[in-house]
Amino acid sequence: AQTVTQSQPEMSVQEAETVTLSCTYDTSESDYYLFWYKQPPSRQMILVIRQEAYKQQNATENRFSVNFQKAAKSFSLKISDSQLGDAAMYFCAYTETSYDKVIFGPGTSLSVIP
Amino acid sequence: NAGVTQTPKFQVLKTGQSMTLQCAQDMNHEYMSWYRQDPGMGLRLIHYSVGAGITDQGEVPNGYNVSRSTTEDFPLRLLSAAPSQTSVYFCASSYSSTSSGANVLTFGAGSRLTVL
């Protein structure tokens, strides 16, 4: 079965600094999608970034970028110039095909220190 | 666009009671799913559906039933509530295409359920 692991239950970062959240996954498939979702205290889940496994180029969305290492099955999220509004739970997620189930990791709680 | 609407937002049940969490989406998404969120365990998939009339089990399906009679609605039923089902429940939907938005889940606001 596919699994998603986030080994850092909690992380903290100084405002304006850079932080990297780790995610590893287990799959035997070659084509899949990976995601990072953010859950602020409001509880609303928000997409941060999406990566297609067949694309070599790492996805980027403004201050958010990923380091996708397909052979190592690693998908880390880098947040640059951290802001107070980045404080949230961050979930890594995986899905194989357009209609397959989406599996989430246990999450990393990120605190931003002013 | 309302997106994904979940009701109720809060519910308290007694052990053994039954209830239905409602989920509706107005985006014509084919894929719908239910998750439960517990501290330290992330979101665990309960049931999912790839279209009307089609449902399948996720990681933690025991104690829950679903049906998908229309594209828009995907209710989650607790047949006999247990304290272990105390959790926050999320409904989510998505569509499939070759666009950059494919497979991106749109979530409801969540429903906090307490079983006493």
Per-residue model confidence as pLDDT tens digits over A13-72: 999 999 999 999 999 888 899 999 999 999 999 999 999 888 888 989 999 999 999 999
Main-chain phi, psi angles of A85, to 5 degrees: -70, -5
A105 vs A92: CA distance, rounded Å: 5
Q: Are the beta carbons of B78 and B18 closer than 8 angstroms?
A: yes
Q: Which residues contact A92 (CB under 8 A, 6 or more apart)?
A: A4, A6, A21, A23, A25, A34, A35, A36, A75, A77, A104, A105
Per-residue model confidence as pLDDT tens digits over A67-86: 999 999 999 999 999 999 99
Tell me the residues of A at the B interface, defined by beta carbons under 8 Å apart: 4, 6, 9, 33, 35, 37, 43-45, 47, 50, 91, 93, 95, 98-99, 101-107
- The alpha helices in B24-64, defined as continuous H runs, are none
Average pLDDT over residues B31-59: 92
Nearest alpha-carbon partner for B34 in B4, B70, B2, B3: B4
Reported as a pLDDT band with limits 50, 70 and 90, residue B41 is: confident
Q: Are the beta carbons of A16 and A113 closer than 8 angstroms?
A: no
Which CA distances in Å does B84 have to A60, B9, B58, B75? 39, 19, 17, 20
Q: Which residues contact A18 (CB under 8 A, 6 or more apart)?
A: A78, A79, A80, A81, A82
CB contact under 8 A, B56 and A50: no
CB contact under 8 A, B105 and A102: yes
Main-chain phi, psi angles of A86, to 5 degrees: -80, -10
CB contact under 8 A, A98 and B102: yes
User: How far is A44 from chain B, CA to nearest CA, in Å?
Assistant: 6
Residue B73 has pLDDT above 90, yes or no: yes
Per-residue model confidence as pLDDT tens digits over B51-67: 899 999 999 999 999 99
CB contact under 8 A, A107 and B110: no
Mutate to test the interface with B, among A4, A8, A103, A104 (most CBs of B within 10 A): A104
Q: Map tokens 């970028």 to a residue.
A: A65
- Predicted pLDDT of residue A99: 66
- Predicted pLDDT of residue B100: 58
Closest residue of A to B37, CA-based?
A106
B46 vs B59: CA distance, rounded Å: 6
User: How far is A5 from chain B, CA to nearest CA, in Å?
Assistant: 10
Q: How many residues does chain A have?
A: 114
* A4 half-sphere exposure, CB direction, 13 A CA radius: 29
Residue A114 has pLDDT above 60, yes or no: yes
Lowest mean pLDDT among A67-76, B89-98, B102-111: B89-98
Nearest alpha-carbon partner for B46 in B18, B87, B12, B101: B87
- Residues pairing with B4 in the sheet: B25
